[in-house]
């Protein structure tokens, strides 16, 4: 039974099996962690698919096949981190080319584009991608790539992937979708027309706050070849143990996401009715930016919730410091609930840029604990803010 690419199987079946047949040598049902850096050749140049572990590794190959299957993509490439994956993608842009990115995005992505690639000539324009008509009308000259997150980090705005693809492709630009927040369980950008899907596997794919990793899904052979070349030539690959941890996490992705979404809804219900909360940001809410796009392209609305405090920045910081079950920490997407203040923490690098986030904003990564405990914890912190 070889399940790679068998798109007739359900998502959860592929999460458990795709790319991971029982080990032919031993029958082991768990993909072995192949630590070898080099592989014996039967004659000069005669190898069995693996030569050297930077170029290809069996545990990494299993992960790449599994995640590609979940994204319904023909190719998958694993990296040492989400930013390493992003860095490889940005190498596809010509040296004087432009990237259009959403005006709400992970701070590290902006830092990579502006501070790392900017000095090499990369130009960027930040736009509100929830307004696709404005993107079409004001298409920035020289744009080679549109980079979008949906839902965005940290405001959770949702962007119509198919509509952005129509505009970008009419100008010959590639569309990159960071699918970290949604995961392939909730949203499949390749099926909506995207050229490249980016993941911080550190988040929901790994799911247990114990591995840093990145991933790209691609359908086009030519784009995949260029990325595969850079993956080997620049070498930002994950180690076999890290690949194993992501593979292990992904087996429960669908089950975890269902609970993340249900718990997020319980938390949103509390926030909507709490007098200290000025505004709740969650894609399911009818007045949320991009709600219509989210309802169209997502299976459910995700485990991330942001909200703004009526009492401003100091009040937000008191809530962040006042929870007990929600751990005050960066990152997201794992089984345990986290709270953070984006302006000071994850998004400090966008201060003063068009991507700056409000000081009264808090972001929750709602975990899979008992919903009643999470709601009670948040309520006591809000009551004391």
Q: Which residues bind ligand PLP (CB under 6 A)?
A: 81-83, 106, 108-109, 149, 153, 178, 180, 200, 202, 212, 214
**Cβ proximity to ligand PLP, 194 vs 381, nearer residue:** 194
Smallest distance from ligand PLP to CB 53, Å: 21
Residues 75/214/94/352 CA torsion (nearest 10 deg)? 150
Given the residues 104, 114, 160, 178, the one annotated as active site: 178
Q: How many residues are given for the chain? A: 385
Are residues 153 and 125 in contact, defined by beta-carbon separation less than 8 angstroms?
A: no
Choosing from 60, 98, 123, 203, the catalytic residue is: 203
Rounded to a whole number of angstroms, the minimum distance from the CB of residue 29 to ligand PLP is 28
Helix H or strand E segment including 316: helix 312-322
Q: CB–CB of 72/188 below 8 Å?
A: yes
The catalytic residue among 14, 79, 98, 106 is 106
Q: Which is nearer to ligand PLP, 165 or 212 (CB)?
A: 212
Helices 253-273 & 371-383 angle (0-180, nearest 10): 30
Query: Which residues have C-beta within 8 Å of that of residue 136, sequence separation ≥ 6?
Result: 167
Q: How far is CA 22 from the centre of its chain?
A: 29
Q: Is 54 a catalytic residue?
A: yes
Q: How far is the CB of 152 from ligand PLP (least distance, A)?
A: 8
Active site (annotated) includes residue 106:
yes
For residue 203, indicate whether it is catalytic.
yes
- Specify whether 178 is catalytic: yes
The residue (of 18 and 205) whose beta carbon lies closer to ligand PLP is 205
Indicate the residue among 202 and 263 with the shorter CB distance to ligand PLP: 202
Nearer to ligand PLP, 249 or 322 (CB): 249
CB of 153 to ligand PLP, least distance (A): 4
CA distances from 142 to 105, 129, 219, 276 (A): 21, 18, 24, 46
Q: Which of 139, 215 has the CB closer to ligand PLP?
A: 215
Buried b (16+ CB within 10 A) or exposed e, 57-74: bbbbbbbbbbbbbbbbbe
Smallest distance from ligand PLP to CB 315, Å: 25
Q: Which long-range contacts (CB under 8 A, 24 or more apart) does 123-126 make?
A: 123/96, 123/97, 123/98, 123/99, 124/98, 124/99, 124/100, 125/98, 125/99, 125/100, 125/101, 126/100, 126/101, 126/102, 126/353, 126/354, 126/355
The answer to whether the beta carbons of residues 179 and 73 sit under 8 Å apart is no
Catalogue the active-site residues. 54, 106, 178, 203
């Amino acid at each position: 039974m070889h399940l790679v690419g068998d798109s007739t199987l359900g998502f959860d079946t592929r999460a458990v099996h795709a790319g991971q047949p029982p080990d032919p040598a031993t029958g082991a049902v768990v993909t072995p962690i192949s630590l070898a850096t080099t592989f014996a050749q039967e004659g000069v140049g005669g190898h069995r698919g693996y030569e050297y572990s930077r170029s290809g590794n069996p545990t990494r190959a299993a992960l790449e096949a599994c995640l590609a299957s979940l994204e319904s993509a023909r190719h998958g490439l694993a990296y040492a981190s989400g930013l390493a994956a992003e860095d490889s993608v940005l190498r596809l842009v010509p040296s004087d080319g432009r990237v259009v990115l959403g005006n709400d995005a992970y701070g590290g992505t902006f830092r990579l584009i502006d501070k790392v690639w900017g000095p090499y000539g990369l130009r960027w324009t930040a736009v509100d991608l929830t307004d696709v008509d404005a993107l079409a009308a004001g298409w920035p000259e020289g744009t080679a790539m549109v980079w979008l997150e949906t839902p965005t980090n940290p405001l959770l705005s949702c962007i119509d992937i198919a509509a952005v693809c129509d505009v970008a492709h009419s100008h010959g630009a590639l569309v990159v979708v960071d699918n970290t927040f949604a995961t392939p369980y909730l949203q499949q950008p390749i099926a909506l027309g995207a050229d490249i899907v980016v993941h911080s596997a550190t988040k929901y794919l790994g799911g247990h706050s114990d591995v840093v990793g990145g991933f790209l899904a691609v359908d086009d052979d030519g784009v995949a070849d260029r990325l595969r070349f850079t993956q080997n030539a620049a070498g930002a690959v994950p180690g076999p143990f890290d690949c194993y941890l992501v593979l292990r996490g992904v087996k429960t992705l669908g089950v975890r996401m269902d609970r993340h979404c249900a718990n997020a809804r319980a938390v949103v219900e509390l926030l909507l009715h709490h007098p200290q909360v000025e505004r709740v940001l969650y894609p399911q809410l009818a007045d949320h930016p991009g709600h219509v796009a989210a309802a169209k392209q997502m299976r459910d609305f995700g485990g991330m919730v942001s909200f703004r405090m009526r009492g401003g920045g100091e009040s937000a910081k008191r809530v962040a410091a006042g929870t007990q079950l929600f751990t005050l920490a960066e990152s997201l997407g794992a089984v345990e609930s986290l709270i953070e203040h984006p302006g000071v923490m994850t998004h400090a690098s966008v201060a003063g840029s068009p991507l700056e986030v409000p000081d009264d904003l808090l972001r929750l990564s709602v975990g899979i604990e008992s919903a009643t405990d999470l709601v009670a914890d948040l309520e006591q912190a809000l009551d004391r803010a």
